[in-house]
Amino acid sequence: KAGVTQTPRYLIKTRGQQVTLSCSPISGHRSVSWYQQTPGQGLQFLFEYFSETQRNKGNFPGRFSGRQFSNSRSEMNVSTLELGDSALYLCASSLDIVLVGYTFGSGTRLTVV
């Protein structure tokens, strides 16, 4: 069965621009979570969507936003990019976080120049 698909794999953007990343979860998974990973901070939770509703939110500024569609696909958007937004952005989907845990995608590497 298909895994979690993230697109694009790599992105280079300029400071001040905005960017949209996409995540398609495993079929049947309604929960989609987003993480930012940097060498200095490790994995940091951004937000989680479940059935088109944001269910949990991490401690990130309002420039970071997301949404989930009726087919469970999710997008995250970062506006007014800063150099510090350069990171690996990871998406994880779950059927039931307690019973089966997370399945991660391969990530999107964002570089802000």
Q: Which stretch binds other proteins (CB under 8 A): 14-22, 64-72, 79-87, 88-96?
A: 88-96
Residue number with CB closer to other proteins (47 or 85)? 47
User: Which of 11, 26, 95, 97 is in the footprint of other proteins by CB under 8 A?
Assistant: 97
Residue bearing tokens 């495993």: 26
Is 60 a binding residue for other proteins by CB under 8 A? The answer is: no
CA atoms of 19 and 1, how far apart (whole Å):
29
**Quick check: bond before 25 cis, omega within 30?**
no
Is 28 a binding residue for other proteins by CB under 8 A? The answer is: no
For the bound state, the minimum distance from the C-beta of residue 36 to other proteins, rounded and expressed in Å, comes to 12
| Cα-Cα end-to-end distance for the chain | 37
User: Which of 92, 93, 110, 112 is in the footprint of other proteins by CB under 8 A?
Assistant: 92
Residues near other proteins (CB under 8 A) are 4, 6, 33, 42-43, 45, 48, 56, 88, 90, 92, 97-107, 109
